[in-house]
Amino acid sequence: MSTRGDLHDLRHHGDVELRDGAEGLIDLAVNVRTGTPPEWLRTRIAESMAGLAAYPDGRAARAAVAARHGLPVERVLLTAGAAEAFVLLARALPVRRPVVVHPQFTEPESALRDAGHTVGRVLLRMADGFRLDPGAVPEEADLVVVGNPTNPTSVLHPAEVIARLARPGRTLVVDEAFMDAVPGEPQSLAGRTDVPGLVVLRSLTKTWGLAGLRIGYVLAEPGTVAALERAQPLWPVSTPALAAAEACMSPDALAEAEHAACRTAVERAHLLAGLAEFEEVRAVEAAEGPFVLVRMARADAVRARLRTLGFAARRGDTFPGLGHEWLRLAVRDRTTTNRFLQALDQALTAVGT
């Protein structure tokens, strides 16, 4: 296990690829579903604007989230996106030996470091398919963070393997920000109350296209929820975000999300099949999320060439455990994927990989 702070830019995220000078680029860097938010959700959010004079009241949204997961409301905390939840966990809990399982989303480690913690790292290996080995996590760790499915590897870990990380006196944080993009959510721990110290984080950003609205939630033991809530400012989630959260918990919305997840699985298989045609490219074939991780020589140069050809890809070297030979690609529709594969062919030829 490593505890060193290295040169990985933990604050780099995919949205950076779409900033200055990125007009007209097709976005493969950010894992937000295209064509979102849907019209019905935009309407619900717009209707909530009539109540902006009143302070936000999260009770209905909190109850809707609880009902969706079959939990009491005392186990639910609404947050301004999953990122806020990482900050709350880092600052509100009496953590002494936190460990983050990498490669994964870097905000948990950033939040812990910003709160003054020395963070241990468990690095999953490509040779093992980036699969989780519970035995690699030190027994003394009192907070463990793992993603499922993991960003950026797209690996979906079995729920029971993750549950084996639970210990008395340990907080087990499972980032399920992309779980609703997995058909049927078979490995979710969101509704479980039998795993001690379990904290599940969810985001509505990815499937519903709400990155600019900032809405997510925490599912945990009531004592943990209360501790995190005390660390929040008053009214942390806006009225429009609360309206969106409540709307996204409806049966029709859940059915739409499931349909989108099934469609993504088909499109991901098409992307992986196309990538397999390139001898220079190796993809993590166990991908189950709405993105895939690929390895190739001179990935930085390929990424730069792809930009000239109209595509923005996410660099992988900012993730601990990965290097400059990695890129993350969001799954898109078949037409976009076919155009990307043609551009990738041109980029690989141009840079001479």
Q: Which residues, in sequence order, are bridge partners of residue 101?
A: 122
Mean of the per-residue pLDDT values for the chain?
A: 95
**What is the predicted pLDDT for the residue at 196?**
98
d(CA 16, CA 31): 13
Stretch 109-115: mean pLDDT: 97
Q: Where are the beta strands (DSSP E) in the chain?
A: 26-28, 76-79, 98-102, 120-123, 143-147, 171-175, 198-203, 216-220, 282-283, 291-295, 311-315, 326-330
Stretch 219-237: mean pLDDT: 97
Is 57:42 a contact under the CB 8 Å cutoff? no
Contacts of 251 (CB under 8 A, 6+ apart): none
- How many percent of the chain have pLDDT more than 70? 95
Cβ-count burial 306-317 (b if 16+ within 10 Å, e if not): bbebebbbbbbb
Q: Kindly tell me if the per-residue pLDDT of 33 is higher than 70.
A: yes
Give the global pTM.
0.95
Mapped onto helix, strand or coil, the DSSP state of residue 198 is strand
Stretch 220-225: mean pLDDT: 98
Whole-Å CA distances, 131 to 123, 128, 150, 237, 275: 10, 6, 10, 35, 21
**What is the predicted pLDDT for the residue at 103?**
98
Stretch 270-285: mean pLDDT: 97
State both tokens at 155. 């690996």
Between 16 and 42, the higher pLDDT residue: 42
pLDDT band at 1 (very low <50, low <70, confident <90, very high): low
d(CA 137, CA 150): 16
Contacts of 110 (CB under 8 A, 6+ apart): 10, 11, 86
pLDDT band at 23 (very low <50, low <70, confident <90, very high): confident
**What is the predicted pLDDT for the residue at 13?**
64
State both tokens at 22. 């990125």
Stretch 115-126: mean pLDDT: 97
